[in-house]
Structure 1
Amino acid sequence: MIVAKLKNEDLIREVDSFLNDKKHFHLWWLGQSGYLLQWKGKRILLDPYLSDSLSKKYLTTDKPHARISVLVVKPELLKNISIVTSSHNHTDHLDAETLIPVLKNNPGIQFIIPEANRIFVADRIKCKNDFPIGLNDGQSVTIDGFTFHGILAKHNEIDRDEKSNCKYMGYVIEFGEYKIYHSGDTLWFDGMVELLKPFQVDVALLPINGNKPERKVAGNLDCKEAAELGKAINAKIVIPCHYDLFEFNTADVNEFVREAEKINQPYKVLKGGERFQF
């Protein structure tokens, strides 16, 4: 089992220690595509998956989700969260066992989702239909000093509902002088670079597990594509994610490192529970 840099109470103590930092933002990788962002004492959760719900669900199937990294933090330990996001309906991005305790323990929290997924989300996390804030691609919302821009994603297709709301999304999060791109799950698609380049992204959080049909799950960028996308959009730094959680659906992050160094794309590889400061 891959160990975490920090976990549970030790992680929370580190997060709390930067609560009064007014100059920098801090970002902790929580595993898979989950991150905790803290800036000027405000905290945002991005696509957290902090349970073993998928391992239990698929235990006796032909697609076992065997965990290979320790759980970084119990969801009930996460307090003072202003905003939480889900980029799409797959459980590792919309997990009831994670989100229900997070919503319960953080009164006043705002929940950002793709508008197309509203009914599904409300049913899964047992909330009122009008509770989540729904975005479509090209739309934005500002909450507590953070502006979320909805970005189209392709997983494995560009999929929209009958009202043309997209079901798979990423977000560019703009706060102060910074911009972070959290892609959610996505493949490269036509127009992606032209869509993202004007944002002048500082940090791109990109999946690297690739697209292999034999896994019987929707795919993502691979190591080479993640490095090249970062370069194409002029991201100041790429942080890889969506690997080292499930044995059947991972990638070798060293391959990403080689690809990034080959094209001089700055990057940072994090361990679970490790902090990044821009």
Structure 2
Amino acid sequence: MRMIIWIVLVVIAVIVAGVLVFVNQPSFGRLPRGERLERIKRSPHYRDGQFQNLHETVMITSDNGRVGAMIDFLFRRIEGLRPEKAVPAVKTELRAIPLEENVVVWFGHSSYLIQTDGKRILVDPVFCMASPVSFINKPFQGTDIYKPENMPDIDYLVISHDHWDHLDYHTVVALKDRIGKVVCGLGVGEHFEHWGFGKERIVELDWFEDAWLDEGFTIHCLPARHFSGRGMSSNQSLWASFLVESPSRKIYMGGDGGYDTHFAEIGKRFPGIDLAVIENGQYNENWKYIHVMPLYLAQIAKDLGAKKVLTVHHSKYALAKHPWDEPVKNALKMKEHTSSEVIVPTIGEIIRDSDVE
């Protein structure tokens, strides 16, 4: 009996050691410390040891609780969860796009390139792995055609939050020498410093803070209704949406998050938004407050007062139990219920100046 107990203890110790080694890989990043942690503690959005949404947000809304929601997610079968054939995509030579052209190129899920007034902005690029291990969150066939080496030099890398499907360690490290500035929410900069980015290149903002990037370019950090974390601890860095004001346009980058009053408030503060990029996909009634449910898409466009809308967070990964192409259908239906022009591009397609002004 004593021998069995020792064997069990040894097995447990080996498992614990393996988990610790695994979560201490560089790709997990690092929790805020030092001056950054002190700044976080002073934030009005950091309470009770973690960042909070503007309004109370229940993470899991299932009547069966977290366990029931997890069982449903893992075992409930959905017809059409993944496409049966390759998703249509276009391989664009991004470096060949003249810098004076104002364009947007969407790479699937929440990764996209904005080129405006001579500057390139890359948002939430995930070109290698959308999870800690390669066999989880595998991209749909045909969608994985862009790699870090395909990207042009980037002036501003914008990261909405530190979830694996928005912040890919392998991608940002591969691009490190070709990125001018990193713009992110408070606390996310710790990951970048851990990965070798100098402090002088990191623009780290709390909600309602803004930063002058270059002549004619200002970026505003704004709320989102979501959460954060890529390891054992949650909500130690801030999730955010951002609005860029360039010399000729205003572009809103919504990041991840459910519907709330902040969209209308942003629309009032920044009238005349030329393009709004908003979340559409990976939603579920079991977590209806932290992702945009389809019925709110048109309302968000109205709240923001956006001239044009591009929806993202779909068409590359199956992170929720809805058919893979349902978000695209939602975007097409949205056209019938909003005065905003809704752009529904193919992955990799160039959305040119005439489409984003």
Classify the TM-score, shorter chain: 0.7 to 0.9
Aligned length, in residue pairs: 256
Instruction: Give the structure 1 partner of residue 269 of structure 2.
Output: 198
Instruction: Give the structure 1 partner of residue 147 of structure 2.
Output: 74
Q: Over aligned residue pairs, what C-alpha RMSD do you find?
A: 2.6
Instruction: Give the structure 2 partner of residue 3 of structure 1.
Output: 88
| Structure number with bigger Rg | 2
Candidates 311, 314, 318, aligned match of 1:247? 318
SS at match of 2:188: helix
Q: Counterparts of 1:217 and 1:199 in 2: how far apart (Å)?
A: 27
Structure 2 unaligned residues grouped into runs of 5+? 1-85, 229-233
Structure 1 unaligned residues grouped into runs of 5+? none
Instruction: Give the structure 2 partner of residue 143 of structure 1.
Output: 213
Candidates 328, 332, 338, aligned match of 1:257? 332
- 1:31-180 equivalences in 2 (<5 Å): 31-54=108-131, 57=133, 59=135, 64-68=136-140, 69-104=142-177, 106=178, 109-123=180-194, 125-128=195-198, 131-144=201-214, 145-155=216-226, 167-180=238-251
**2:280 counterpart letter in structure 1:** I
Instruction: Give the structure 1 partner of residue 300 of structure 2.
Output: 229
Distance verdict in 2 for CA 1:218–1:243, change over 3 Å: farther
Distance verdict in 2 for CA 1:212–1:33, change over 3 Å: same
Distance verdict in 2 for CA 1:218–1:271, change over 3 Å: farther
**2:88 counterpart letter in structure 1:** V
Which structure carries more helix by proportion?
Answer: 2
SS at match of 2:343: coil
Query: Normalization by structure 2: what TM-score?
Result: 0.65
How far has the Cα of 1:90 moved from its partner? 0.4
Deviations 1:46-102 (Å, cap 9, x if unpaired)?
111111352x7162xxxx413114224211232321110111110121111111111
Query: Normalization by structure 1: what TM-score?
Result: 0.82
Say if 2:282 and 2:314, in contact at 8 Å, map to a contact too.
no
How far has the Cα of 1:245 moved from its partner? 1.0
Range with bigger deviation, 168-177 or 142-151: 142-151
Distance verdict in 2 for CA 1:66–1:31, change over 3 Å: same
Say if 2:278 and 2:312, in contact at 8 Å, map to a contact too.
yes
How far has the Cα of 1:168 moved from its partner? 0.7
**2:126 counterpart letter in structure 1:** Y
Q: Counterparts of 2:200 and 2:247 in 1: how far apart (Å)?
A: 29
1:212 matched to 2:284 = yes
How far has the Cα of 1:103 moved from its partner? 1.3
**1:34 counterpart letter in structure 2:** S
**2:137 counterpart letter in structure 1:** H
How far has the Cα of 1:156 moved from its partner? 5.0
Q: Counterparts of 1:193 and 1:133 in 2: how far apart (Å)?
A: 26
